[in-house]
Structure 1
Amino acid sequence: MKIHIKNLFLGSLLFIQAVFSYGVEDKQLLSIFNKYNVNGTLVISSTDGKKVYIHNESRAKKNYLPASTFKIPNTLIGLAEGAINPDGHVFLWDGKDKGWKIWNQNHTLQSALSNSCIWCYQEVAQDVGRLQYRYHLKKMNYGNRELGNLTTFWLDGKLRINAYQQIEFLKKLYSERLPYYKKYQKKTKKIMLNESNPSYKLYGKTGWVMKNGKGIDIGWYVGFLEKDNQTWFFAINIDLMKDSQRKLRKQIIKEALHVKRII
Protein backbone atom coordinates (compact mmCIF):
# COMPACT_ATOMS: atom_id res chain seq x y z
CA MET A 1 0.00 0.00 0.00
CA LYS A 2 2.87 2.37 0.84
CA ILE A 3 4.50 1.64 -2.53
CA HIS A 4 1.20 2.30 -4.30
CA ILE A 5 0.78 5.68 -2.59
CA LYS A 6 4.41 6.63 -3.32
CA ASN A 7 4.06 5.78 -7.01
CA LEU A 8 0.79 7.70 -7.19
CA PHE A 9 2.42 10.75 -5.63
CA LEU A 10 5.41 10.63 -7.96
CA GLY A 11 3.14 10.23 -10.97
CA SER A 12 1.05 13.21 -9.94
CA LEU A 13 4.17 15.30 -9.35
CA LEU A 14 5.55 14.50 -12.81
CA PHE A 15 2.20 15.35 -14.37
CA ILE A 16 2.09 18.71 -12.61
CA GLN A 17 5.67 19.51 -13.65
CA ALA A 18 4.89 18.62 -17.26
CA VAL A 19 1.79 20.81 -17.34
CA PHE A 20 3.32 23.85 -15.70
CA SER A 21 6.59 23.65 -17.64
CA TYR A 22 4.72 25.08 -20.64
CA GLY A 23 4.25 28.42 -18.93
CA VAL A 24 7.76 28.92 -17.54
CA GLU A 25 10.04 31.49 -19.16
CA ASP A 26 13.41 29.94 -19.95
CA LYS A 27 16.08 32.36 -18.70
CA GLN A 28 18.77 30.97 -20.99
CA LEU A 29 16.63 31.57 -24.06
CA LEU A 30 15.72 35.03 -22.75
CA SER A 31 19.41 35.90 -22.51
CA ILE A 32 19.94 35.01 -26.18
CA PHE A 33 17.09 37.29 -27.29
CA ASN A 34 18.45 40.06 -25.04
CA LYS A 35 21.92 39.55 -26.51
CA TYR A 36 20.65 40.36 -29.99
CA ASN A 37 18.07 42.90 -28.78
CA VAL A 38 15.23 41.31 -30.74
CA ASN A 39 11.59 40.81 -29.87
CA GLY A 40 10.12 37.39 -30.59
CA THR A 41 9.27 33.94 -29.35
CA LEU A 42 10.89 30.52 -29.41
CA VAL A 43 9.52 27.10 -28.54
CA ILE A 44 11.68 23.96 -28.45
CA SER A 45 9.99 20.63 -27.72
CA SER A 46 11.02 17.01 -27.40
CA THR A 47 9.01 14.54 -29.45
CA ASP A 48 6.84 13.47 -26.51
CA GLY A 49 6.46 17.03 -25.25
CA LYS A 50 7.83 16.17 -21.81
CA LYS A 51 10.67 18.68 -22.27
CA VAL A 52 9.63 22.08 -23.57
CA TYR A 53 11.73 25.25 -23.50
CA ILE A 54 9.93 28.54 -24.11
CA HIS A 55 10.74 32.18 -24.57
CA ASN A 56 7.75 34.55 -24.55
CA GLU A 57 4.82 32.15 -24.22
CA SER A 58 2.17 34.80 -24.87
CA ARG A 59 3.69 35.51 -28.28
CA ALA A 60 4.02 31.78 -28.98
CA LYS A 61 0.20 31.70 -28.94
CA LYS A 62 -0.10 34.68 -31.29
CA ASN A 63 -1.05 33.98 -34.90
CA TYR A 64 0.94 35.25 -37.88
CA LEU A 65 1.04 34.66 -41.60
CA PRO A 66 3.17 31.56 -42.22
CA ALA A 67 4.95 33.11 -45.24
CA SER A 68 7.38 30.61 -46.77
CA THR A 69 7.08 28.15 -43.89
CA PHE A 70 3.84 27.24 -45.71
CA LYS A 71 6.02 25.67 -48.41
CA ILE A 72 6.21 22.63 -46.10
CA PRO A 73 2.47 21.81 -46.18
CA ASN A 74 2.25 23.22 -49.71
CA THR A 75 4.75 20.62 -50.88
CA LEU A 76 2.64 17.88 -49.36
CA ILE A 77 -0.52 19.30 -50.93
CA GLY A 78 1.19 19.62 -54.32
CA LEU A 79 2.34 16.01 -54.18
CA ALA A 80 -1.10 14.78 -53.16
CA GLU A 81 -2.82 16.75 -55.93
CA GLY A 82 -0.37 15.74 -58.66
CA ALA A 83 0.83 19.34 -59.07
CA ILE A 84 4.31 18.15 -58.09
CA ASN A 85 5.96 15.08 -59.62
CA PRO A 86 7.48 13.06 -56.75
CA ASP A 87 9.96 11.42 -59.14
CA GLY A 88 11.88 14.53 -60.13
CA HIS A 89 9.80 17.67 -60.53
CA VAL A 90 11.29 20.60 -62.46
CA PHE A 91 9.90 24.13 -62.33
CA LEU A 92 10.69 25.71 -65.71
CA TRP A 93 11.68 29.38 -65.59
CA ASP A 94 9.97 31.48 -68.27
CA GLY A 95 12.97 33.78 -68.73
CA LYS A 96 11.32 36.75 -66.99
CA ASP A 97 12.84 38.49 -63.99
CA LYS A 98 11.23 37.12 -60.84
CA GLY A 99 12.67 39.75 -58.51
CA TRP A 100 15.58 37.77 -57.09
CA LYS A 101 18.59 36.43 -59.00
CA ILE A 102 18.44 32.94 -57.50
CA TRP A 103 14.83 32.59 -58.69
CA ASN A 104 15.74 33.35 -62.32
CA GLN A 105 16.45 29.77 -63.32
CA ASN A 106 14.85 26.33 -63.44
CA HIS A 107 14.30 24.75 -60.05
CA THR A 108 14.01 21.28 -58.64
CA LEU A 109 11.65 20.71 -55.74
CA GLN A 110 14.64 20.76 -53.38
CA SER A 111 16.00 24.08 -54.67
CA ALA A 112 12.52 25.64 -54.87
CA LEU A 113 12.01 24.98 -51.15
CA SER A 114 15.51 25.90 -49.98
CA ASN A 115 15.54 29.14 -52.01
CA SER A 116 11.93 30.04 -51.15
CA CYS A 117 11.03 30.28 -54.82
CA ILE A 118 7.69 32.10 -54.75
CA TRP A 119 6.86 31.70 -58.45
CA CYS A 120 7.49 27.93 -58.21
CA TYR A 121 4.89 27.48 -55.50
CA GLN A 122 2.52 29.90 -57.20
CA GLU A 123 2.51 27.44 -60.10
CA VAL A 124 1.58 24.73 -57.61
CA ALA A 125 -1.23 26.94 -56.26
CA GLN A 126 -2.65 27.49 -59.74
CA ASP A 127 -2.73 23.74 -60.32
CA VAL A 128 -4.25 22.92 -56.92
CA GLY A 129 -7.01 25.55 -56.93
CA ARG A 130 -8.98 27.27 -54.17
CA LEU A 131 -11.50 24.50 -53.54
CA GLN A 132 -8.82 21.87 -52.98
CA TYR A 133 -6.80 24.17 -50.73
CA ARG A 134 -9.82 24.57 -48.47
CA TYR A 135 -10.12 20.80 -48.39
CA HIS A 136 -6.45 20.22 -47.55
CA LEU A 137 -6.14 22.97 -44.91
CA LYS A 138 -9.08 21.39 -43.10
CA LYS A 139 -7.74 17.88 -43.65
CA MET A 140 -4.35 18.68 -42.08
CA ASN A 141 -5.87 21.15 -39.56
CA TYR A 142 -3.33 23.80 -40.49
CA GLY A 143 -3.54 27.08 -38.59
CA ASN A 144 -6.84 28.92 -38.93
CA ARG A 145 -7.44 27.29 -42.37
CA GLU A 146 -8.29 30.63 -43.99
CA LEU A 147 -7.41 31.61 -47.53
CA GLY A 148 -7.22 34.82 -49.57
CA ASN A 149 -5.75 35.37 -53.02
CA LEU A 150 -5.06 31.92 -54.50
CA THR A 151 -1.40 32.53 -55.30
CA THR A 152 -0.43 34.65 -52.28
CA PHE A 153 -2.70 33.67 -49.38
CA TRP A 154 0.24 32.41 -47.30
CA LEU A 155 2.07 35.71 -47.89
CA ASP A 156 -0.63 38.36 -47.57
CA GLY A 157 -3.95 36.55 -47.13
CA LYS A 158 -5.99 35.46 -44.14
CA LEU A 159 -4.05 32.31 -43.25
CA ARG A 160 -2.57 32.47 -39.75
CA ILE A 161 -0.62 30.09 -37.51
CA ASN A 162 1.27 30.31 -34.20
CA ALA A 163 4.50 28.75 -32.95
CA TYR A 164 2.76 25.97 -31.01
CA GLN A 165 0.68 25.02 -34.05
CA GLN A 166 3.79 24.97 -36.24
CA ILE A 167 5.39 22.43 -33.91
CA GLU A 168 2.25 20.32 -33.67
CA PHE A 169 2.06 20.15 -37.47
CA LEU A 170 5.76 19.23 -37.73
CA LYS A 171 5.39 16.46 -35.17
CA LYS A 172 2.61 14.88 -37.22
CA LEU A 173 4.64 15.22 -40.40
CA TYR A 174 7.75 13.77 -38.79
CA SER A 175 5.93 10.71 -37.44
CA GLU A 176 4.01 10.46 -40.73
CA ARG A 177 0.65 10.74 -38.98
CA LEU A 178 -0.82 13.27 -41.40
CA PRO A 179 -3.63 11.85 -43.60
CA TYR A 180 -1.41 11.53 -46.69
CA TYR A 181 0.63 8.79 -48.31
CA LYS A 182 3.75 8.14 -46.26
CA LYS A 183 5.92 8.43 -49.38
CA TYR A 184 4.75 12.05 -49.78
CA GLN A 185 5.48 12.83 -46.13
CA LYS A 186 8.93 11.25 -46.43
CA LYS A 187 9.63 13.30 -49.56
CA THR A 188 8.57 16.52 -47.85
CA LYS A 189 10.81 15.85 -44.87
CA LYS A 190 13.76 14.92 -47.07
CA ILE A 191 13.85 18.24 -48.94
CA MET A 192 13.74 20.16 -45.65
CA LEU A 193 17.31 19.10 -44.78
CA ASN A 194 19.39 22.22 -44.02
CA GLU A 195 22.48 20.79 -42.40
CA SER A 196 24.00 17.34 -41.92
CA ASN A 197 27.14 16.37 -40.03
CA PRO A 198 28.33 13.41 -37.93
CA SER A 199 26.68 14.90 -34.82
CA TYR A 200 23.21 15.82 -36.03
CA LYS A 201 20.82 16.59 -38.89
CA LEU A 202 18.92 19.86 -38.98
CA TYR A 203 15.72 20.22 -41.01
CA GLY A 204 13.76 23.42 -41.40
CA LYS A 205 12.21 26.22 -43.40
CA THR A 206 12.44 29.97 -42.99
CA GLY A 207 9.67 32.48 -43.64
CA TRP A 208 9.56 36.25 -44.06
CA VAL A 209 6.29 38.11 -43.54
CA MET A 210 6.80 41.38 -45.40
CA LYS A 211 4.73 44.41 -44.47
CA ASN A 212 5.98 46.44 -47.44
CA GLY A 213 7.01 49.32 -45.21
CA LYS A 214 3.83 49.20 -43.14
CA GLY A 215 4.30 47.86 -39.65
CA ILE A 216 6.97 45.33 -38.72
CA ASP A 217 8.22 42.39 -40.76
CA ILE A 218 8.15 38.97 -39.09
CA GLY A 219 10.79 36.29 -39.55
CA TRP A 220 10.05 32.57 -39.06
CA TYR A 221 12.23 29.48 -38.80
CA VAL A 222 10.55 26.15 -38.04
CA GLY A 223 11.80 22.58 -38.19
CA PHE A 224 13.33 19.71 -36.27
CA LEU A 225 16.71 18.29 -35.31
CA GLU A 226 17.77 14.65 -35.14
CA LYS A 227 20.58 13.67 -32.78
CA ASP A 228 21.44 10.44 -30.96
CA ASN A 229 18.12 8.79 -31.79
CA GLN A 230 16.27 11.81 -30.40
CA THR A 231 14.27 14.44 -32.25
CA TRP A 232 13.63 18.00 -31.14
CA PHE A 233 11.16 20.39 -32.74
CA PHE A 234 11.43 24.16 -32.85
CA ALA A 235 9.57 27.26 -34.01
CA ILE A 236 10.83 30.82 -33.77
CA ASN A 237 9.39 34.08 -34.99
CA ILE A 238 10.99 37.48 -34.47
CA ASP A 239 10.38 41.10 -35.39
CA LEU A 240 12.65 42.12 -38.26
CA MET A 241 13.51 45.77 -37.88
CA LYS A 242 16.10 45.57 -40.68
CA ASP A 243 17.05 43.04 -43.37
CA SER A 244 20.31 42.13 -41.65
CA GLN A 245 18.34 40.58 -38.79
CA ARG A 246 17.00 37.79 -41.03
CA LYS A 247 20.12 35.73 -40.29
CA LEU A 248 19.20 35.78 -36.60
CA ARG A 249 16.35 33.32 -37.18
CA LYS A 250 18.75 30.42 -37.68
CA GLN A 251 21.47 31.88 -35.48
CA ILE A 252 19.24 32.08 -32.41
CA ILE A 253 17.98 28.53 -33.00
CA LYS A 254 21.53 27.17 -33.19
CA GLU A 255 22.58 29.03 -30.03
CA ALA A 256 19.44 27.91 -28.20
CA LEU A 257 20.05 24.27 -29.09
CA HIS A 258 23.62 24.63 -27.84
CA VAL A 259 22.71 26.33 -24.56
CA LYS A 260 20.09 23.64 -23.84
CA ARG A 261 22.78 21.02 -24.56
CA ILE A 262 20.78 19.47 -27.38
CA ILE A 263 23.69 19.92 -29.80
Structure 2
Amino acid sequence: MRFHPGRSFLALVSALTITSACSSGPTLTYELHHELGVHFEAAGTEGAFVAKRIGTDDIPIVYNAVRAREPLPPAETFRPLATLVLLETETVGSLDEPLTWSGEGAYVQDWHRTHSLRTALTDDAEWVYQQTADEMGRDPYEVWINRLGYGNTNVRGGQGSFWMDGTLLIDMFQQTEFMALLASESQPFDRSAVRDIRNELATIAGDGWTMTYQEGRVPGSGTEDRVGWLVGIVEVGDVEWAIAMNMDVDWDRTIDPDARVNLTTTLLEAVGITSNG
Protein backbone atom coordinates (compact mmCIF):
# COMPACT_ATOMS: atom_id res chain seq x y z
CA MET A 1 0.00 0.00 0.00
CA ARG A 2 1.35 3.41 -0.94
CA PHE A 3 0.96 6.37 1.42
CA HIS A 4 -0.76 9.40 -0.09
CA PRO A 5 0.27 12.69 1.53
CA GLY A 6 -2.72 14.56 2.91
CA ARG A 7 -4.87 11.46 3.39
CA SER A 8 -5.77 10.20 6.81
CA PHE A 9 -4.56 6.87 8.19
CA LEU A 10 -8.16 5.74 8.73
CA ALA A 11 -8.86 6.16 5.03
CA LEU A 12 -5.99 3.80 4.19
CA VAL A 13 -6.29 0.95 6.67
CA SER A 14 -9.16 -0.79 4.85
CA ALA A 15 -7.65 -0.46 1.38
CA LEU A 16 -6.28 -3.39 -0.63
CA THR A 17 -3.70 -3.09 -3.40
CA ILE A 18 -4.87 -5.11 -6.40
CA THR A 19 -3.25 -5.92 -9.74
CA SER A 20 -5.87 -6.88 -12.29
CA ALA A 21 -5.53 -8.18 -15.84
CA CYS A 22 -8.38 -7.78 -18.30
CA SER A 23 -8.74 -9.07 -21.85
CA SER A 24 -10.29 -5.77 -22.94
CA GLY A 25 -7.55 -3.51 -21.57
CA PRO A 26 -4.15 -3.20 -19.90
CA THR A 27 -3.20 -4.68 -16.56
CA LEU A 28 -3.98 -2.19 -13.79
CA THR A 29 -2.80 -1.80 -10.23
CA TYR A 30 -5.11 0.09 -7.91
CA GLU A 31 -6.05 0.66 -4.29
CA LEU A 32 -9.40 -1.07 -3.77
CA HIS A 33 -11.87 0.33 -1.22
CA HIS A 34 -14.77 -2.10 -0.74
CA GLU A 35 -16.01 -0.06 2.22
CA LEU A 36 -17.23 2.72 -0.09
CA GLY A 37 -20.18 0.53 -1.01
CA VAL A 38 -22.06 1.69 2.09
CA HIS A 39 -22.25 5.20 0.64
CA PHE A 40 -23.78 3.97 -2.62
CA GLU A 41 -26.25 1.90 -0.59
CA ALA A 42 -27.16 4.94 1.50
CA ALA A 43 -27.87 6.84 -1.72
CA GLY A 44 -30.11 4.00 -2.92
CA THR A 45 -28.01 3.17 -5.96
CA GLU A 46 -25.07 1.21 -7.33
CA GLY A 47 -21.98 2.57 -8.99
CA ALA A 48 -18.21 2.91 -9.06
CA PHE A 49 -15.52 5.46 -8.23
CA VAL A 50 -11.95 6.16 -9.39
CA ALA A 51 -9.55 8.85 -8.15
CA LYS A 52 -5.96 9.38 -9.33
CA ARG A 53 -3.49 11.91 -7.98
CA ILE A 54 -2.35 13.96 -10.98
CA GLY A 55 1.32 14.19 -11.88
CA THR A 56 2.43 11.25 -9.73
CA ASP A 57 2.98 7.52 -10.03
CA ASP A 58 0.50 6.89 -7.20
CA ILE A 59 -1.90 4.09 -7.99
CA PRO A 60 -5.58 5.06 -8.35
CA ILE A 61 -8.17 4.69 -5.62
CA VAL A 62 -11.03 2.48 -6.81
CA TYR A 63 -14.41 1.21 -5.72
CA ASN A 64 -16.05 -1.51 -7.87
CA ALA A 65 -13.22 -2.15 -10.32
CA VAL A 66 -15.30 -4.39 -12.59
CA ARG A 67 -17.80 -1.63 -13.23
CA ALA A 68 -15.03 0.97 -13.46
CA ARG A 69 -13.56 -0.91 -16.43
CA GLU A 70 -16.90 -1.14 -18.25
CA PRO A 71 -16.86 1.09 -21.37
CA LEU A 72 -19.88 3.39 -21.62
CA PRO A 73 -20.87 6.31 -23.84
CA PRO A 74 -19.30 9.47 -22.40
CA ALA A 75 -22.56 11.36 -23.03
CA GLU A 76 -22.29 14.99 -21.86
CA THR A 77 -18.88 14.38 -20.27
CA PHE A 78 -17.54 14.55 -23.85
CA ARG A 79 -18.36 18.27 -24.07
CA PRO A 80 -15.06 19.67 -22.71
CA LEU A 81 -13.13 17.69 -25.33
CA ALA A 82 -15.67 18.53 -28.05
CA THR A 83 -15.35 22.22 -27.20
CA LEU A 84 -11.55 22.06 -27.42
CA VAL A 85 -11.70 20.33 -30.82
CA LEU A 86 -14.17 22.89 -32.17
CA LEU A 87 -11.86 25.71 -31.10
CA GLU A 88 -8.63 24.01 -32.20
CA THR A 89 -10.02 23.35 -35.70
CA GLU A 90 -11.46 26.88 -35.85
CA THR A 91 -14.88 25.42 -36.61
CA VAL A 92 -15.99 27.92 -33.99
CA GLY A 93 -13.89 31.05 -33.62
CA SER A 94 -14.18 31.54 -29.87
CA LEU A 95 -16.11 30.48 -26.81
CA ASP A 96 -18.38 33.50 -27.32
CA GLU A 97 -19.07 33.28 -31.06
CA PRO A 98 -22.88 33.32 -31.57
CA LEU A 99 -24.29 30.00 -32.80
CA THR A 100 -27.79 29.97 -34.28
CA TRP A 101 -30.03 26.93 -33.98
CA SER A 102 -30.89 25.53 -37.41
CA GLY A 103 -34.42 24.63 -36.35
CA GLU A 104 -33.77 20.93 -36.86
CA GLY A 105 -34.17 18.36 -34.11
CA ALA A 106 -36.45 18.21 -31.09
CA TYR A 107 -34.69 19.75 -28.14
CA VAL A 108 -35.61 21.30 -24.82
CA GLN A 109 -37.53 24.51 -25.52
CA ASP A 110 -35.14 26.67 -23.50
CA TRP A 111 -32.29 25.61 -25.81
CA HIS A 112 -34.03 27.00 -28.92
CA ARG A 113 -32.14 30.26 -29.05
CA THR A 114 -28.76 31.62 -30.05
CA HIS A 115 -26.01 30.10 -27.95
CA SER A 116 -22.23 30.13 -27.79
CA LEU A 117 -19.88 27.35 -26.74
CA ARG A 118 -19.66 29.07 -23.37
CA THR A 119 -23.42 29.07 -22.79
CA ALA A 120 -23.75 25.59 -24.28
CA LEU A 121 -21.44 24.31 -21.56
CA THR A 122 -23.22 26.12 -18.75
CA ASP A 123 -26.81 25.71 -20.02
CA ASP A 124 -26.48 22.09 -21.20
CA ALA A 125 -27.50 22.95 -24.79
CA GLU A 126 -27.03 19.65 -26.64
CA TRP A 127 -28.02 20.99 -30.08
CA VAL A 128 -24.84 23.07 -30.23
CA TYR A 129 -22.66 19.95 -30.18
CA GLN A 130 -24.86 17.97 -32.56
CA GLN A 131 -25.15 20.81 -35.07
CA THR A 132 -21.45 21.74 -35.04
CA ALA A 133 -20.50 18.05 -35.38
CA ASP A 134 -22.74 17.81 -38.46
CA GLU A 135 -21.15 20.95 -39.93
CA MET A 136 -17.55 19.97 -39.17
CA GLY A 137 -17.86 16.26 -39.93
CA ARG A 138 -16.27 13.46 -37.97
CA ASP A 139 -12.75 13.55 -39.43
CA PRO A 140 -11.38 16.25 -37.07
CA TYR A 141 -12.89 14.46 -34.08
CA GLU A 142 -11.34 11.21 -35.24
CA VAL A 143 -7.90 12.83 -35.55
CA TRP A 144 -7.98 14.34 -32.06
CA ILE A 145 -9.62 11.38 -30.33
CA ASN A 146 -7.00 9.05 -31.79
CA ARG A 147 -4.20 11.45 -30.89
CA LEU A 148 -5.39 11.52 -27.28
CA GLY A 149 -6.31 7.83 -27.10
CA TYR A 150 -9.72 8.86 -25.77
CA GLY A 151 -11.82 5.81 -24.94
CA ASN A 152 -12.17 3.27 -27.75
CA THR A 153 -11.43 6.09 -30.28
CA ASN A 154 -14.41 5.09 -32.47
CA VAL A 155 -16.49 7.88 -34.04
CA ARG A 156 -17.61 6.09 -37.21
CA GLY A 157 -20.60 3.96 -36.21
CA GLY A 158 -24.16 5.07 -35.65
CA GLN A 159 -26.20 7.86 -37.18
CA GLY A 160 -26.62 10.25 -34.26
CA SER A 161 -24.33 11.81 -31.69
CA PHE A 162 -21.44 9.34 -31.54
CA TRP A 163 -20.72 10.35 -27.94
CA MET A 164 -24.27 9.36 -26.96
CA ASP A 165 -25.28 6.41 -29.13
CA GLY A 166 -22.71 3.80 -28.06
CA THR A 167 -20.22 4.40 -30.87
CA LEU A 168 -17.62 6.16 -28.72
CA LEU A 169 -17.11 4.36 -25.40
CA ILE A 170 -14.91 5.16 -22.42
CA ASP A 171 -14.26 3.57 -19.04
CA MET A 172 -13.66 5.30 -15.73
CA PHE A 173 -9.88 4.90 -15.74
CA GLN A 174 -9.79 6.53 -19.17
CA GLN A 175 -12.04 9.33 -17.92
CA THR A 176 -9.51 10.15 -15.19
CA GLU A 177 -6.72 10.11 -17.78
CA PHE A 178 -8.52 12.81 -19.76
CA MET A 179 -9.24 14.87 -16.64
CA ALA A 180 -5.54 14.65 -15.76
CA LEU A 181 -4.72 15.84 -19.28
CA LEU A 182 -6.94 18.91 -18.81
CA ALA A 183 -4.99 19.74 -15.65
CA SER A 184 -1.61 19.14 -17.28
CA GLU A 185 0.75 21.78 -18.57
CA SER A 186 1.78 19.38 -21.35
CA GLN A 187 -1.65 18.89 -22.95
CA PRO A 188 -1.75 19.53 -26.72
CA PHE A 189 -4.49 22.17 -26.77
CA ASP A 190 -4.17 25.92 -26.43
CA ARG A 191 -3.64 26.49 -22.70
CA SER A 192 -5.79 29.60 -22.52
CA ALA A 193 -8.68 27.68 -24.12
CA VAL A 194 -8.27 24.87 -21.59
CA ARG A 195 -8.28 27.36 -18.71
CA ASP A 196 -11.37 29.09 -20.08
CA ILE A 197 -13.24 25.80 -20.44
CA ARG A 198 -12.28 24.67 -16.94
CA ASN A 199 -13.59 27.99 -15.63
CA GLU A 200 -16.98 27.34 -17.26
CA LEU A 201 -17.46 23.89 -15.75
CA ALA A 202 -19.55 23.44 -12.63
CA THR A 203 -17.69 24.01 -9.36
CA ILE A 204 -18.27 23.12 -5.73
CA ALA A 205 -15.93 23.98 -2.87
CA GLY A 206 -15.41 22.88 0.70
CA ASP A 207 -12.92 23.43 3.49
CA GLY A 208 -9.60 23.65 1.66
CA TRP A 209 -10.73 21.97 -1.56
CA THR A 210 -12.46 22.74 -4.86
CA MET A 211 -14.02 20.33 -7.36
CA THR A 212 -14.54 21.32 -10.99
CA TYR A 213 -16.71 18.80 -12.79
CA GLN A 214 -18.87 17.78 -15.74
CA GLU A 215 -21.87 15.51 -15.42
CA GLY A 216 -23.46 13.28 -18.05
CA ARG A 217 -26.36 10.89 -18.42
CA VAL A 218 -26.01 7.78 -20.58
CA PRO A 219 -29.20 7.28 -22.63
CA GLY A 220 -31.28 4.19 -21.91
CA SER A 221 -34.18 2.41 -23.54
CA GLY A 222 -37.76 2.93 -22.39
CA THR A 223 -38.03 2.77 -18.62
CA GLU A 224 -34.59 1.25 -18.08
CA ASP A 225 -32.48 3.02 -15.48
CA ARG A 226 -29.75 5.21 -16.90
CA VAL A 227 -26.15 5.66 -15.80
CA GLY A 228 -25.12 9.06 -14.51
CA TRP A 229 -21.52 10.25 -14.93
CA LEU A 230 -19.54 12.76 -12.91
CA VAL A 231 -15.94 13.45 -13.93
CA GLY A 232 -13.71 16.21 -12.69
CA ILE A 233 -10.62 17.67 -11.08
CA VAL A 234 -10.31 18.13 -7.33
CA GLU A 235 -7.83 20.68 -6.02
CA VAL A 236 -6.63 20.32 -2.43
CA GLY A 237 -3.99 22.94 -1.78
CA ASP A 238 -1.32 22.38 -4.43
CA VAL A 239 -2.43 18.78 -5.06
CA GLU A 240 -4.84 17.86 -7.86
CA TRP A 241 -6.84 14.66 -8.29
CA ALA A 242 -8.60 13.40 -11.41
CA ILE A 243 -11.85 11.67 -10.51
CA ALA A 244 -14.65 9.72 -12.15
CA MET A 245 -17.85 8.43 -10.59
CA ASN A 246 -20.85 6.78 -12.15
CA MET A 247 -24.08 5.53 -10.64
CA ASP A 248 -27.44 4.15 -11.69
CA VAL A 249 -30.06 6.88 -12.02
CA ASP A 250 -33.83 6.50 -12.46
CA TRP A 251 -35.14 6.85 -16.00
CA ASP A 252 -37.82 9.28 -14.77
CA ARG A 253 -35.27 11.44 -12.90
CA THR A 254 -36.85 10.80 -9.49
CA ILE A 255 -33.39 10.59 -7.89
CA ASP A 256 -32.25 13.87 -6.34
CA PRO A 257 -30.62 15.90 -9.15
CA ASP A 258 -27.76 16.71 -6.78
CA ALA A 259 -27.22 13.04 -5.90
CA ARG A 260 -24.09 12.59 -8.02
CA VAL A 261 -22.40 15.66 -6.57
CA ASN A 262 -23.39 14.80 -3.00
CA LEU A 263 -22.26 11.19 -3.33
CA THR A 264 -18.97 12.18 -4.95
CA THR A 265 -18.10 14.64 -2.20
CA THR A 266 -18.94 11.97 0.38
CA LEU A 267 -16.61 9.50 -1.35
CA LEU A 268 -13.81 12.06 -1.55
CA GLU A 269 -14.02 12.62 2.18
CA ALA A 270 -14.31 8.90 2.94
CA VAL A 271 -11.04 8.07 1.17
CA GLY A 272 -9.27 10.99 2.82
CA ILE A 273 -8.80 13.24 -0.19
CA THR A 274 -10.80 16.17 1.18
CA SER A 275 -10.97 15.27 4.88
CA ASN A 276 -8.86 17.12 7.41
CA GLY A 277 -8.44 14.07 9.61
TM over 0.5: yes
Gaps of 5+ in 2: 1-15, 20-27
Offset at residue 186 of structure 1 (A): 2.4
2:79 aligns to what? 71
User: What is the TM-score of this pair, normalised by structure 1?
Assistant: 0.82
Offset, 1:107 = 2.5
Q: Is the 8 A contact 2:17 2:30 kept in 1?
A: no
Q: CA deviation at 1:215?
A: 4.3
Aligned length: 247
Identify the residue that residue 63 of structure 2 maps to in structure 1. 55
Q: Does residue 201 in structure 1 map to residue 210 in structure 2?
A: yes
What SS does the corresponding residue of 1:119 show, helix, strand or coil?
Answer: helix
C-alpha deviation, 1:202, in angstroms: 1.9
Answer yes or no: is 1:26 the counterpart of 2:36. no
Matched, 1:37 2:44: yes
Match of 2:111 among 80, 97, 103: 103
Give the direction of change, closer, same or farther, for the CA distance of 1:127–1:99 in structure 2 (3 Å limit).
Answer: closer
Match of 2:122 among 114, 125, 137: 114
Give the counterpart letter for 2:193 in structure 1.
Y
* Distance across 1 between alignment mates of 2:47 and 2:17: 24
Residues 31, 60 of structure 2: 8 Å contact kept: no
Match of 1:226 among 232, 235, 239: 235
Please say if residues 46 and 52 of structure 1, whose CA atoms lie closer than 8 Å, have aligned partners that are also in contact.
yes
Does the residue aligned with 1:244 lie in a helix, a strand or coil?
coil
Greater radius of gyration (CA): 1
Q: Which runs of 5+ in 1 are unaligned?
A: 1-16
Give the AA of the match of 1:67: A
1:6 is matched with: none
Within the candidate set 235, 238, 259, 1:248 is matched to 259
- Contact preservation (8 Å) 1:193, 1:201: no
Q: How far apart, in 1, do the equivalents of 2:86 and 2:214 lie? A: 17
Q: Is the 8 A contact 1:22 1:54 kept in 2?
A: no
The correspondence of residues 110-149 of structure 1 with structure 2, limited to 5 A, is 110-147=118-155, 148-149=157-158
Return the alpha-carbon distance in structure 2 between the equivalents of residues 136 and 66 of structure 1: 16
Q: 1:195 to 1:107 in 2, by over 3 A?
A: farther
Worse-superposed segment, 208-217 or 93-102: 93-102
The root-mean-square deviation of aligned C-alpha atoms, in Å, is: 2.6
Q: Secondary structure at the match of 2:214?
A: strand
The letter for the 2-side match of 1:238 is M
* Aligned residue in 2 for 1:162: 171
Give the drift of 1:160: 0.3
Question: Is the CA contact (8 Å cut-off) linking 2:30 and 2:60 kept in structure 1?
Answer: no
The normalised TM-score by structure 2 is 0.79
Aligned residues of 1:63 and 1:162 also touching (Cα < 8 A): yes
Cα offset, 1:214, TM superposition: 6.3
1:140-196 superposed Cα distances (whole Å, 9 cap, x missing partner): 111001123465111114110000000011111210433223233223322224235
How far residue 118 of structure 1 moved from its aligned partner, in angstroms, is: 0.8
Q: CA deviation at 1:205?
A: 0.7
Task: Detail structure 1 runs of 4+ shifted over 6 Å in the superposition.
Answer: none
Offset at residue 46 of structure 1 (A): 1.4
Answer 1 or 2: which has greater helix percent: 1
Q: CA deviation at 1:239?
A: 1.7
Confirm or deny: 8 A CA contact 1:145 1:159 kept in the other structure.
yes
How big is the shift at 1:237?
Answer: 1.3
Alpha-carbon deviation of 1:105?
3.1
Post-superposition CA distance 1:118-140 (Å, at most 9, x none): 10111221232122221111111
Letter of the structure 2 residue corresponding to residue 124 of structure 1: T
Match of 2:53 among 34, 38, 46: 46
Question: CA shift at 1:57, angstroms?
Answer: 0.6
